[in-house]
């Protein structure tokens, strides 16, 4: 298969395979365009979300506390472990920043996917409307009556996203006024 020129699918498996390849290419493009800050934030967020991170902290805290309560050791941070509290607080500040950076990146990716989904859905809606119109013409040409189905005529009309958005917004406002029922 040549790059940029997909082969004609023969089976459903071929179609899904092509779709998966397309999705994989989109993921690769997204990953390739990440900034250094995004890559570091993702690495830190992934590591901090692992059991290894938990075990390392459990071991460090145990050693720290035991070292500072055992008699005969140099207590560099005696009870109530003020320096440990400071270190953990600083770590929490930095970790939350890395996690927020990582989440912001994921949100940008999600927003791009949502816009792509919307474009594809709008295109599909336009194609479906056109197919219904063509089927209606074919039915008329073959003298097949569809007069008893009012839904067909309604569905043949082009869907206007702005109208749908206003209807959705109006419905949510009305539900909010009624107490979310």
At residue 169, does pLDDT exceed 80? yes
In the chain, where the domains are located: 1-33, 34-177
- Asked whether the CA dihedral 105, 111, 113, 115 is positive or negative, the reply is negative
pLDDT tens by residue, 107-147:
988 998 888 888 888 888 888 888 888 988 898 898 888 77
Q: Render pLDDT for 11-33 as a digit per residue (tens, 0 to 9).
A: 878 878 887 888 888 788 777 77
108 vs 106: CA distance, rounded Å: 5
- Structure confidence at residue 2 as a pLDDT band (50, 70, 90): very low
| pLDDT of res. 162 | 79
Residue 2 φ then ψ, to 5°: -80, 150
Sign of CA dihedral 1, 25, 23, 127: negative
* Higher pLDDT, residue 8 or 85: 85
What 3-state DSSP class applies to 113? helix
């Amino acid at each position: 298969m040549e790059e940029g020129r997909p082969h004609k699918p023969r089976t459903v498996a071929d179609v899904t395979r092509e779709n998966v390849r397309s999705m994989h290419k989109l993921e690769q493009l997204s990953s390739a365009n990440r900034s250094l800050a995004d890559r570091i934030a993702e690495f830190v967020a992934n590591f901090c979300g692992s059991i290894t991170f938990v075990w390392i902290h459990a071991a460090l805290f145990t050693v720290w506390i035991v070292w500072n309560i055992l008699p005969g050791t140099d207590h560099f941070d005696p009870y109530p472990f003020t320096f440990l509290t400071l270190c953990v607080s600083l770590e929490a500040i930095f970790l939350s920043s890395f996690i927020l950076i990582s989440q912001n990146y994921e949100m940008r990716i999600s927003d791009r996917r949502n816009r792509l989904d919307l474009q594809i859905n709008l295109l599909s809606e336009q194609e479906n409307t056109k197919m219904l119109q063509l089927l209606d013409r074919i039915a008329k040409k073959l003298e097949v009556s569809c007069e008893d189905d009012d839904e067909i005529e309604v569905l043949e009309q082009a869907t206007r996203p702005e109208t749908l958005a206003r209807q959705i917004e109006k419905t949510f406002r009305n539900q909010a006024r009624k107490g979310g029922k």
